[in-house]
């Protein structure tokens, strides 16, 4: 088959790798509008569960990437200066550019062509392709220009976030919440190299306006947040890589393909960053589509239908959990001042409805016991 992929992100790269190994005769070209050595963002984080999926689905790629990752075995919730470590939550992270560079070399070694600095603006540029994969991110023009065909809906959520970095190498994946005169400030932060961390700042729209961020430059906003998170940053700066305030788009597509064009990764459905599953979901999309072709051969229409059947059930569970998590953050102006550190950490752990009290006890008996002491009624529920 002749396969053209728009976008050299994890979804497109992983699919190219899987399909080329499935049948080396596939003619696969990835078209990437950016240069080879540049990317936006900082680190990419995987839970241990996500890495287990990668190891099972693609052991070769798992063993290729794993030595380049930073790892830790717990999670930390910082609530107004009080830290609550939570056991049973292993994670690993890698710089986004490092991961992409490793994937570039991996797929090129298999015979896949990547054309950097090449922007596809109309599908007719790819005439002759048997399959066109739109893996060009949450702002995908392929999806936006064909919203009717995909049945696309978009819900722009109210919280504001800015994806930044810091030179402070944090010990664990951490969530820091600080109450202030203007509202609650949240930071999601974790190291992805021994000397760099992702530092994502999130506030409600009301806090953003009360603080005056609508009247500040992005650099002024980062300097302001350095003061809010001074305890966590320990005099390290917050740094930018095209960092600016954004609203998260909840995107849903009733149909995932039309003709020979199919969506994947963030173009199909961004997953809220608060559950750290965006890259995992993109790569699992690739696995499911490849498995669909294993079942159907080179029958593209049948494979695209089978992709939807294979992927929808598990994808929907994660997507729903991500949306519940997202809405929990939208209530943080009320939640943070209303709870003490133990209550808040427990509420965080159970926010998506997927973790019961019994599961909290399995993951971290100390946190469960501390919460039971405050709320003995949980034992009878």
Helix, strand or coil for residue 91? Answer: strand
pLDDT tens per residue across span 301-358: 999 999 999 999 999 999 999 999 999 999 999 999 999 999 999 999 999 999 999 9
- Of 263, 265, 271, 255, nearest to 319 by C-alpha is 271
- Find the range with the poorest average confidence among 40-44, 157-161, 308-312, 322-326: 40-44
pLDDT for 182: 97
CATH C-level class of 2-41+96-156+249-329: alpha beta
- Find the range with the poorest average confidence among 1-10, 272-281, 352-361: 272-281
The answer to whether 4 touches 126, Cβ cutoff 8 Å, is yes
| Average pLDDT over every residue of 127-148 | 97
Buried b (16+ CB within 10 A) or exposed e, 137-160: bbebbbbeebeebbebeeeebebb
The token pair at 217 is: 């430059």
Q: Alpha-carbon torsion 55, 96, 17, 273, what sign?
A: positive
pLDDT for 38: 83
**Does residue 218 surpass a pLDDT of 90?**
yes
| Average pLDDT over every residue of 239-248 | 96
pLDDT for 40: 78
- DSSP label of 256: S
pLDDT for 261: 98
pLDDT for 237: 98
Q: Could you give the CA distance from residue 249 to residue 266 in angstroms, rounded to a whole number?
A: 10
**Does residue 30 surpass a pLDDT of 90?**
yes
125 contacts: CB under 8 Å, gap ≥ 6 = none
| Average pLDDT over every residue of 59-78 | 93
- Find the range with the poorest average confidence among 27-31, 43-47, 174-178, 215-219: 43-47
**Does residue 277 surpass a pLDDT of 90?**
no
**Does residue 19 surpass a pLDDT of 90?**
yes
The token pair at 166 is: 């810091």
The answer to whether 265 touches 137, Cβ cutoff 8 Å, is yes
Kindly compute the dihedral angle of the four CA atoms of residues 328, 331, 332, 338, in this order, to the nearest 10 degrees.
-110
Q: What secondary structure, in 3-state letters, does 264-289 show? A: CHHHCCCCCHHHCCHHHHHHHHHHHH
| Average pLDDT over every residue of 212-217 | 97
The answer to whether 113 touches 31, Cβ cutoff 8 Å, is no
| Average pLDDT over every residue of 201-208 | 98
pLDDT for 90: 87
Helix, strand or coil for residue 109? Answer: helix
The values of phi and psi at residue 58, to 5°, are -155, 75
Share of the chain above pLDDT 90, in %: 89
DSSP string covering 135-179 = ---TT-HHHHTTHHHHTEEEEEEEEEEEEEEES---SSEEEEEEE
Q: Could you give the CA distance from residue 279 to residue 23 in angstroms, rounded to a whole number?
A: 25
What mean pLDDT, rounded, does the chain reach?
Answer: 95
**End-to-end Cα separation, the chain, in angstroms:** 56
pLDDT for 117: 96
**Does residue 215 surpass a pLDDT of 90?**
yes
pLDDT tens per residue across span 219-236: 999 999 999 999 999 999
Q: Can you give the residue ranges of every domain in the chain?
A: 2-41+96-156+249-329
The 10 Å Cβ neighbour count of residue 277 is 22
């Amino acid at each position: 088959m002749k396969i053209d992929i728009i976008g050299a992100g994890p979804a497109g790269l992983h699919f190219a790798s899987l399909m080329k190994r499935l049948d080396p005769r596939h003619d696969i070209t990835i078209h990437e509008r950016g240069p080879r050595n540049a990317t936006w963002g900082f680190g990419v984080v995987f839970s241990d569960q996500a890495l287990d999926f990668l190891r099972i689905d693609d052991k070769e790629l798992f063993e290729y990437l794993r030595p380049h990752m930073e790892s830790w075995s717990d999670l930390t919730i910082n609530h107004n200066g009080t830290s609550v470590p939570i056991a049973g939550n292993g994670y690993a992270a890698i710089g986004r550019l490092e991961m992409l560079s490793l994937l570039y070399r991996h797929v090129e070694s298999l015979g896949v062509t990547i054309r950097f600095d090449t922007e596809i603006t109309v599908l007719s540029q790819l005439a002759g392709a048997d399959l066109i994969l739109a893996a060009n991110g949450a702002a995908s023009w392929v999806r936006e220009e064909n919203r009717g065909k995909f049945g696309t809906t978009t819900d722009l959520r109210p919280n504001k976030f800015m994806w930044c970095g810091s030179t402070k190498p944090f010990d664990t994946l951490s969530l820091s919440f600080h109450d202030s005169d203007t509202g609650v400030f949240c930071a999601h932060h974790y190291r992805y190299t021994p000397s760099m961390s992702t530092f994502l700042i999130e506030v409600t729209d009301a806090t953003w306006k009360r603080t005056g961020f609508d009247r500040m430059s992005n650099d002024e906003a980062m300097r302001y947040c350095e003061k809010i998170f001074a305890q966590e940053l320990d005099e390290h700066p917050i740094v930018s890589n095209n960092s600016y305030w954004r609203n998260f788009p909840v995107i849903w597509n009733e149909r995932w393909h039309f003709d020979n064009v199919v969506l994947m990764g963030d173009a199909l459905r961004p997953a809220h960053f608060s559950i750290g599953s965006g890259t995992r979901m993109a790569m699992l999309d690739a696995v499911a589509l490849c498995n669909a072709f294993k079942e159907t051969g080179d029958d593209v229409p049948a494979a695209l239908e089978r992709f939807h059947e294979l992927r929808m059930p598990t994808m929907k569970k994660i997507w729903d959990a991500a949306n519940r998590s997202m809405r929990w953050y939208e209530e943080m102006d009320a939640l943070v001042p209303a709870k003490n550190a133990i209550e808040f950490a427990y509420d965080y752990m159970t926010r998506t409805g997927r973790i019961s009290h019994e599961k909290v006890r399995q993951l971290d008996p100390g946190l469960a016991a501390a919460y039971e002491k405050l709320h003995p009624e949980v034992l009878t529920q």
